[in-house]
Amino acid sequence: MTNHWIDLKNADAFLIMGSNAAEHHPISFKWVLNAKERGAVVIHVDPKFSRTSARSNFHVPLRSGTDIAFLGGMIKYILDNEKYFKDYVVAYTNASFLVNKDFGFQDGLFTGFDPQTRSYDKKTWSFQLDDNGVPKRDESLQDPNCVFQLLKKHYARYTPDKVSTITGVSEENLLKVWEAYSATGTGTKAGTVMYALGWTQHSVGVQNIRSACMIQLLLGNIGIPGGGVNALRGEPNVQGSTDHALLYHILPGYMATPTAAWQTLADYQKANTPVSKDPKSANWWQNKPKYMVSLLKAWFGDKATADNDFCYGLLPKLEAGVDYSYMYLFDRMYHDQVRGGFIFGLNPMNTLANTHKARAAMDHLDWVVTSELHHTETTDNWRRPGVDPKTVKTEYFLLPSAHRIEKEGTISNSGRWTLWHHKAIEPAGEAKNFGFMLIGLANKLRAKYLQEGGALPEAVTWQDWPQHYDAEEWCKRINGFFLADTKVGDKTYKKGQLVPSFAALKDDGTTSSLNWLYTGSFTEEEGNKTKRRDPKQTPMQEKIGLFPNWSWCWPVNRRIIYNRASVDPTGKPWNPDKPLIAWENGKWVGDVPDGPWPPLANEGGKYPFIMHTHGFSQLFGPGRVDGPFPEHYEPVETPVTSHPFSSQLSNPMYKFVSGDLDKLAKPGDPAYPIVLTTYSLTEHWCGGGETRNVPCLLEAEPQLYVEMSEELAREKGIKNGDGVIVESIRGKVEAIAMVTVRIRPFAVQGKTVHLVGMPFCFGWTTPKCGDSTNRLTPSVADPNTTIYELKACLVDVKKTDQLTEIAR
């Protein structure tokens, strides 16, 4: 979240889209309902009417996978009706930037596309620079090559009739949402966007979110109380896991993973450190070398020296152009290119797309180590239904894992607050926490390399691991230490003392930090700030529910990021009733500002979007692989054969794997005419591996169901509560029909398109509750993130009297 949970109460309008917030982030609705009571309008745009819709002012059903058409139409509406907040757009976004004259867009493709490699040469997606290397701007927004004019041109095609015919949303409903939401573009109102996996899990996932960012920028809704683009993250600690780089493509603190192209630290720093020639641009990432060297010092300790590149050479390097994410990992596994591995804290045999293939892929492993609270579809894949365990060569290890409440440590919530949690009880039996397992493993490996040697043993033996795991000691390592006596301002820190803020991190090896974003969370002055529970606040902070002394939040306890955009260039809040920061008597008051510099108009002032090289937020976003502006493309499996915006049916760059188990239904396939969308539910957590073992949760949601409209049920002769078979080109799944008014058919291009929805939390290790819904979903993914398209694919449904996976 750019903002935080409590801040939701400051919104005047909510666009909840790609999220079922009330069900999956129940606490969010405490704040949403507070705002609603104050008169805020709560809008839910989603294929089905859910518990979120029930508490919203209105729900608008949308065919799954058509969000960009819907949002592109809203961008056009905002521009045509001048609903944007012009001062903000001119001063803080790149609307005024002049784009390379050779940039263009034609029939669904941007300039530079190579159909052979299915990729873009992004050369023309660039800005015109002046003699000093600073982007040229036209603050009148009239230049035909300026971003604003290109934006207008791009979305001119997204007329209400075209948007309506492809999304299945009536024009009346489109206008109702666009009008209600864009009323926030005044500077004194706030609109917030709440999204989750309903946006990310599409072949255009990243561009769904880009569309929302652009709307928020046009309306001046970024950096303000009650605004933001709010990715709702939850109990799985997604926030903490991305911050600390659980994914392969980043190192802790959102720095790129080294690739084979960057063999030396100098190569890495040069390729990853942006340069701005504009004195008003803070260009914060210019500090990256300090964070990288501090990270290497934290990893390799005294062994890391300036002379040996701080051990950069010992880090594994990614091969350029190779995708290491799940979809490809399991494809490689299926093709015998992976021998073994560790699966901790997830249940991929239930949650990956096309689990038929994922389950078969695991049989190709020699060994696998899992660590879980309970037996799951993953820990027990070797004895899954229809498989004789004797034929499975894989050796499985199951390490009993401690439950969250059986260990202490931190969790980072969606609002970037990092909160300490105490251990409530001792782990049962032989269960241990992951820290114990991983540090134990690292030390065993190191001892073995020390004794026996091997290829490049230093990569392991030089790592600075403690003997034992201690959560609080680990927090200190994350914060970072001074490795030499250092003066910061008037204060001298001794070698071995904690670094007070990332501003003090150095690139000369005299500081360490496992994650620069968390530097300042554990200090000499205040100790472990994740334990702070003080509701103290100033009257200004009280107005907007800001609690700076409760836990700690990255970066530097800044509760709303990009907050310099909440004030005008002189430092005066756009909305005087809800000030977030303000420049008063030569200093900032309120939240921790995005950098210490004075307001933009003052001497030494800086642009507010400090993480962007040029200091401006991006309406034109050349960073993504599939286009600087979001464009509507159909899901890879789509019920239509054309759409009104171009002849490019699906994302030209969507990722896929091919093989005997990777079949795809063709567009408009008559054998699979129904759209399937998948989701979670309140009562079960993710793949259900934990919650299906909690009897009263299983009592409340016991078995796999498929929600469908009364119209579809009538067509198929299905009654509420009947057993049905849902079938895609990849497999069949049994479910119980839930016939409901909450799902309705869509009118798409003059035809009826039905949609059904299923949760994915049920699996065969819980007897007779049904098995993985993901046996139906396809191995196709977003080209930027390789997140699977789990929210839209094609199926058929039929009634059955013979259920084998589900008890009646």
Partner 1 sequence: MAKTFLIDTSRCTACRGCQIACKEWNELPANDTRQWGSHQNPPDLNAYNYKLVRFNERRDGDTVRWNFFPDQCRHCIDPPCKHEADAYVEGAVIQDPETGAVLFTEKTRQLSEEACEAVREACPYNIPRRHPVTGALVKCTMCHERITRGMLPACVKACPTGAMNFGEREEMLALAEKRLAAVKAEFPNAMLADPDSVSVIYLLTDDPFNYHQNAVAGVTRDLDRQQFLARLTAPLRRSARAAMQG
Of residues 22 and 661, the one with the C-beta less far from partner 1? 22
What the block records as the tokens of 566 is 């909440």
Residue 455 binds to partner 1 (criterion: CB under 8 A)? no
Q: Please list every residue from 734 through 773 that binds partner 1, using CB under 8 A.
A: 736-742
Instruction: Work out how close the CB of 515 gets to partner 1 at its nearest, in angstroms, rounded to a whole number.
Output: 30
SS3 at position 571: coil
Between the CA of residue 34 and those of 190, 462, 547, what are the distances in Å?
15, 53, 17
Candidate residues 8, 18, 43, 59; the one interacting with partner 1 per rule CB under 8 A: 59
The residue written with tokens 């789990």 in the block is 790
Candidate residues 390, 422, 487, 808; the one interacting with partner 1 per rule CB under 8 A: 808
Q: Please list every residue from 480 through 519 that binds partner 1, using CB under 8 A.
A: none
Distance between CA 368 and CA 343 in Å, rounded? 7
Candidate residues 10, 52, 94, 239; the one interacting with partner 1 per rule CB under 8 A: 52
Q: Please list every residue from 633 through 652 that binds partner 1, using CB under 8 A.
A: none
On the 0-12 / 13-18 / 19+ scale of CB atoms within 10 A, 719 is exposed
**Residues written for the chain:** 808
Residue 54 binds to partner 1 (criterion: CB under 8 A)? yes
Of residues 372 and 683, the one with the C-beta less far from partner 1? 683
Distance of CA 610 to the CA centre of its chain: 21
Candidate residues 306, 720, 751, 798; the one interacting with partner 1 per rule CB under 8 A: 720
Residue 407 binds to partner 1 (criterion: CB under 8 A)? no
Instruction: Work out how close the CB of 51 gets to partner 1 at its nearest, in angstroms, rounded to a whole number.
Output: 5
What type of residue is 204?
Answer: V
Q: Are 5 and 34 in contact (CB under 8 A)?
A: no
Of residues 260 and 700, the one with the C-beta less far from partner 1? 700
Nearest in space to 306 (alpha carbons), one of 510, 158, 589, 548: 510
What the block records as the tokens of 616 is 């401006």
Instruction: Work out how close the CB of 735 gets to partner 1 at its nearest, in angstroms, rounded to a whole number.
Output: 8
Instruction: Work out how close the CB of 710 gets to partner 1 at its nearest, in angstroms, rounded to a whole number.
Output: 9
Window of 542-550, 553-561, 643-651, 700-708 that interacts with partner 1 by CB under 8 A? 700-708
Nearest in space to 766 (alpha carbons), one of 712, 687, 670: 687
Of residues 59 and 137, the one with the C-beta less far from partner 1? 59
Nearest in space to 22 (alpha carbons), one of 678, 679, 682: 682
Window of 56-64, 454-462, 496-504, 779-787 that interacts with partner 1 by CB under 8 A? 56-64
The residue written with tokens 């507010």 in the block is 608
Of residues 1 and 204, the one with the C-beta less far from partner 1? 1
Distance between CA 103 and CA 101 in Å, rounded? 5
Site size for partner 1, by CB under 8 A? 43
Residue 682 binds to partner 1 (criterion: CB under 8 A)? yes
133: how many CB neighbours lie within 10 A of its CB?
10
Q: Are 512 and 480 in contact (CB under 8 A)?
A: yes
Of residues 75 and 738, the one with the C-beta less far from partner 1? 738
Cα-only R_g, the chain: 27
Window of 49-57, 98-106, 125-133, 312-320 that interacts with partner 1 by CB under 8 A? 49-57
Site string for partner 1, 787-806 (x = CB under 8 A): -------------------x
Q: Please list every residue from 8 through 27 that binds partner 1, using CB under 8 A.
A: 22-23, 26-27
**DSSP state at residue 354:** S
Window of 96-104, 336-344, 558-566, 697-705 that interacts with partner 1 by CB under 8 A? 697-705
Instruction: Work out how close the CB of 542 gets to partner 1 at its nearest, in angstroms, rounded to a whole number.
Output: 19
On the 0-12 / 13-18 / 19+ scale of CB atoms within 10 A, 370 is buried
Candidate residues 309, 634, 637, 683; the one interacting with partner 1 per rule CB under 8 A: 683
Q: Are 317 and 260 in contact (CB under 8 A)?
A: yes
Distance between CA 326 and CA 329 in Å, rounded? 5
Distance between CA 465 and CA 510 in Å, rounded? 19
Determine phi and psi for 160, rounding to 5 degrees. Answer: -55, -40
Window of 9-17, 30-38, 348-356, 397-405 that interacts with partner 1 by CB under 8 A? 30-38
52: how many CB neighbours lie within 10 A of its CB?
25
Instruction: Work out how close the CB of 34 gets to partner 1 at its nearest, in angstroms, rounded to a whole number.
Output: 8
Of residues 49 and 746, the one with the C-beta less far from partner 1? 49
Q: Are strands 113-114 and 119-120 parallel, antiparallel or unpaired?
A: antiparallel
Instruction: Work out how close the CB of 533 gets to partner 1 at its nearest, in angstroms, rounded to a whole number.
Output: 18
Of residues 174 and 314, the one with the C-beta less far from partner 1? 174
Residues whose CB is less than 8 angstroms from the CB of residue 527 and which lie 6 or more positions away in sequence, other chains included: none
Q: Where does 143-280 show beta strands of DSSP type E?
A: 191-195, 229-231, 250-251, 255-256
Candidate residues 197, 697, 756, 797; the one interacting with partner 1 per rule CB under 8 A: 697
Instruction: Work out how close the CB of 439 gets to partner 1 at its nearest, in angstroms, rounded to a whole number.
Output: 34
Residue 695 binds to partner 1 (criterion: CB under 8 A)? yes
Interface residues with partner 1 (CB under 8 A) are 22-23, 26-27, 29-30, 33, 37, 49, 51-55, 57-59, 682-683, 695-705, 720-722, 736-742, 806-808
